[in-house]
Amino acid sequence: MTPFGRALRELRQRKGVNQAEMAAAIGVSAAYLSALEHGHRGKPSFDFLQRVVGYFNIIWDEAEELFMLAQASDPRVVIDTSDMPPEYTAFANRLAKEIRSLSPDMLEQMTKVLESGRLSG
């Protein structure tokens, strides 16, 4: 499940709407909504996000958060290390190989390092 998928499911459940009802109202299939919620689809389109916001009549702050979560929810992310030193490519490949085995604590530690800006150069 992606951050966006979790947020979409929680929003839908909070509003008391099932997947079939929401899908029919915004013009997509229930299978597509299910795939989004489970992280089996890439990040949704801007048009889709606008329809969700309109359907639920979401206020701007909550809509902005939903848009940000969508941007951070591509389950098939690509890291382009072309024109970078070989160590960067090796690191990206190692992360891709080992990401499933990271503990929640290690993931939290790595996130804090990224957020601190220590890796931003």
pTM: 0.69
User: In the prediction, which pLDDT does 71 show?
Assistant: 87
Dist CA 56 CA 62 (whole Å): 11
In single-letter form, the type of residue at position 29 comes to S
Q: pLDDT tens-digit profile of 60-109? A: 888 999 999 998 887 778 899 999 999 999 999 999 999 999 999 999 99
For 38, residues 6+ apart whose C-beta sits below 8 A from its C-beta are 1, 5
Q: pLDDT tens-digit profile of 15-31? A: 999 999 999 999 999 99
For 89, residues 6+ apart whose C-beta sits below 8 A from its C-beta are 81
Confidence of residue 52 (pLDDT cuts 50, 70, 90): very high
**For the purposes of burial, counting CB atoms within 10 Å of the CB of 70, is it exposed (0-12), middle (13-18) or buried (19 or more)?**
buried
Confidence of residue 118 (pLDDT cuts 50, 70, 90): low
